């Protein structure tokens, strides 16, 4: 019988709730694991605390999202390579196999210049997967700004491992099914979510936007994919806790249904 793909939840899916509440919700709702979004919540950057949360809620940490956002530029210091080292420290301590990392901002010139080779060196140094995430051009009206270097599309770069995020592919106007096919075994990690093609990064519940989420998950399930599928949705506009949890349950059920592997 084919092994089922795990469906885990990013702690960012309960924002503005805390990292601790993310662990609690993921465990209680029946997710298979947690991706820790290292951010401005102090607990998210505390390796000892994350290990304790995983143990207390009896749920594994399957991946660590390095602090790559504009709002996390000072988390774990200002050296971007140092952040990736600390991410590996956390991953090894909690048993995670994957670190999600964004490509550098264009103004991080030294970091960007050696990023592709540096990521390969990081994988060798730490013995862990660094899966570079697809991003998108920043747009305002008819203007477009290339905020990332060497580029926002990791398919075009020589990364050994890539994360595909379906909200980002929506904003970029990309076909995630084709991305998965083009990446082949380089597809190491998935952020399952959705988008309507807006200029904004929406992170909708999968199935509520225009991305081919069903076809994408079916493509992944039919492949040799051995990574993690992580629900990463925006629940900030949920009316209350009950509505937020309904969204998280819907996302989990949708993903498990469409990522189910046929028994052999």
Q: Which of 43, 49, 48 is nearest to 19 (CA)?
A: 43
CATH class of residue range 7-258 = alpha beta
Largest CA distance in the chain: 50
How much of the chain, in percent, has pLDDT values that exceed 90? Answer: 91
What pLDDT sits at residue 237?
93
Task: Report whether pLDDT(199) > 60.
Answer: yes
Task: Report whether pLDDT(263) > 60.
Answer: no
User: Using CA atoms, how far apart are residues 180 and 67, in angstroms rounded to an integer?
Assistant: 25
What pLDDT sits at residue 218?
97
Mean pLDDT for the stretch of residues 108-115: 96
120: confidence class by pLDDT, cuts 50, 70, 90: very high
Q: Which of 165, 99, 97 is nearest to 130 (CA)?
A: 99
- Tell me the pLDDT of the chain averaged across its residues: 95
> Is residue 65 a contact partner of residue 37, using CB atoms and an 8 Å limit?
yes
What pLDDT sits at residue 141?
74
Q: Where are the domains of the chain?
A: 7-258
What pLDDT sits at residue 65?
98
- List of long-range contacts for 23-27, beta carbons under 8 Å, 24+ apart: 23/53, 23/54, 23/56, 23/57, 23/59, 24/57, 25/245, 25/248, 26/57, 26/59, 27/57, 27/58, 27/59
Mean pLDDT for the stretch of residues 81-89: 98
Residue-wise pLDDT for 1-43, tens only, equals 357 899 999 999 999 999 999 999 999 999 999 999 999 999 9
What pLDDT sits at residue 1?
35
Mean pLDDT for the stretch of residues 131-152: 91
What pLDDT sits at residue 230?
98
Mean pLDDT for the stretch of residues 43-59: 98
Classify the C-alpha dihedral 179-181-184-189 as positive or negative. Answer: positive
Strands 7-10 and 228-231: parallel
User: Using CA atoms, how far apart are residues 248 and 136, in angstroms rounded to an integer?
Assistant: 25
């Amino acid at each position: 019988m084919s092994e089922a793909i795990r469906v885990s939840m990013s702690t960012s899916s309960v924002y503005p709730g805390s990292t601790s509440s993310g662990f609690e919700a993921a465990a209680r709702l029946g997710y298979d694991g947690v991706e820790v979004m290292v951010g401005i919540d102090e607990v998210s950057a505390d390796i000892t605390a994350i290990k304790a949360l995983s143990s207390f809620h009896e749920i594994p940490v399957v991946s660590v999202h390095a602090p790559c956002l504009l709002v996390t530029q000072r988390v774990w210091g200002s050296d971007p390579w140092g952040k990736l080292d600390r991410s590996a420290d956390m991953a090894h301590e909690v048993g995670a196999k994957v670190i999600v990392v964004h490509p550098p901002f264009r103004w991080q010139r030294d970091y960007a210049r050696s990023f592709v080779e540096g990521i390969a060196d990081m994988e060798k140094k730490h013995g862990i997967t660094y899966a570079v995430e697809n991003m998108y051009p920043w747009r305002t009206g008819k203007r477009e700004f290339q905020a990332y270097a060497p580029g926002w599309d990791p398919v075009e770069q020589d990364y050994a491992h890539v994360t595909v995020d379906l909200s980002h592919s929506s904003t970029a106007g990309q076909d995630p099914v084709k991305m998965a096919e083009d990446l082949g075994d380089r597809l190491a990690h998935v952020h399952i979510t959705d988008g309507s093609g807006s200029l904004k990064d929406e992170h909708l519940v999968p199935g509520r936007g225009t991305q081919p989420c069903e076809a994408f998950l079916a493509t992944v399930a039919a492949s040799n994919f051995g990574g993690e599928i992580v629900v990463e949705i925006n629940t900030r506009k949920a009316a209350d806790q009950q509505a937020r949890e309904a969204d998280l349950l819907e996302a989990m059920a949708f993903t498990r249904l469409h990522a189910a592997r046929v028994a052999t």
